[in-house]
Amino acid sequence: MFLDKIFGAKEKQVLSYIGTDVHSHLIPGIDDGAKDYETSLACIAEMQRQGINKIYITPHFQKYRFNNDEDDVVERFEKLKQLVAENNIDVSLNIAGEYLIDDGFKEKINSGKKLLTLKDNYLLVEFSFNQSMFGIEELFFDVQMKGYEVILAHPERYSYLNKNSKLLANLKEQGIYFQSNVLSFGGFYGSEPMRLAYQYVENGWIDFLGTDIHGLRYRDALINTCKNSKFVKMIKKQKFLNNQL
C-alpha cells in the first residue's frame, strides 16, 4: 500500500474488465487461425498479460471451407491445453466452436448432434460476410427450442445488415445474444464496423466481447486497441456478461 502511494496504484489490465474471452481461433491446422503452436502460445500469453484469465477457443465450423469434426477438434485442443500448462501460462482454456449458418449447420442441428458450446449451452454462430439469408428468425427459434442459447458473433461486421438493422433489432427481441469483437473498437476492420460497434453498445445490444484472435497481426492490433482511450473508457463503463460463461 505504501509503495502504491509513492508509485501510484497499479492500473488494472484492460481486458480484466471482461476476464473471459468468448471467441478465438488458436488451434493450428483446422481453420484460418494461428498457423502453429508457437503463434498460439504467443497470442495466449499476450491475452493473459492484458487481463484475460479464461479463454474459449472457437474454431470455425463451415461445411464448404472448414468442415471440422467436433471430436477431432477436441483432440487437437487437448494438445494446446497441455502446451499452455507446460509453458506455465496461468489461464483457463476451454473449447467451443463458431458455427457458420449454412446447410451443414442446419443438418447438424436437425440431426440432434451435440455441438461444441460455451458453458453448457451457449452456441456461438456467425453469418456469411457476403450475403444475407432468409428465415434466420425461424432457424434461431428452432435452435432455441433445442435448448441452446444463441450468441451472434460480431454483428458490426456484416456490411449488408447495416442497411437492414431491423433484423438485428428483431433478433434482440427474440433473446439472441450479441458478441462484438474487441478489435472492431480499434478500427481493425475499418471505420464502419467501428462506428457500428460503438452504436450497438450504445443501443444496449452487446452482451459479450471477444478477441476473435487469429494470429500475430491480431495480437498486435489487440495491444493497440487496449491502449485506445475511447475503448478503455467503454470497457470500464459497460457491463458485459463474459464472466458468466
Task: Provide the minimum distance between the beta carbon of 58 and Fe ion in the complex, in angstroms, as a whole number.
Answer: 6
What residues from 86 to 105 belong to the interface with Fe ion (CB under 5 A)? 98
Task: Provide the minimum distance between the beta carbon of 217 and Fe ion in the complex, in angstroms, as a whole number.
Answer: 14
Q: Which residues pair with 150 in a beta bridge?
A: 123
Residue (8 or 93) nearer to Fe ion, CB: 93
Task: Provide the minimum distance between the beta carbon of 11 and Fe ion in the complex, in angstroms, as a whole number.
Answer: 29
Q: Which amino acid belongs to residue 7? A: F
Angle at 57 (CA atoms; ends 137, 245), nearest 5 degrees: 65
For cell 500475430, name the residue. Answer: 216
Task: Provide the minimum distance between the beta carbon of 213 and Fe ion in the complex, in angstroms, as a whole number.
Answer: 9
Q: Is 156 one of the binding residues for Fe ion (CB under 5 A)? A: no
Positive or negative, the CA dihedral 188, 194, 196, 199 is positive
Residue (15 or 96) nearer to Fe ion, CB: 96
CB 156 within 8 A of CB 200: yes
CB 164 within 8 A of CB 180: no
What residues from 201 to 220 belong to the interface with Fe ion (CB under 5 A)? 212
Residue (128 or 170) nearer to Fe ion, CB: 128
Q: Which amino acid belongs to residue 171? A: L
Residue nearest to Fe ion (CB): 212
Task: Provide the minimum distance between the beta carbon of 164 and Fe ion in the complex, in angstroms, as a whole number.
Answer: 22
197 class by beta-carbon count within 10 Å (0-12 exposed, 13-18 middle, 19+ buried): buried
- Which residues bind to Fe ion, rule: CB under 5 A? 98, 212
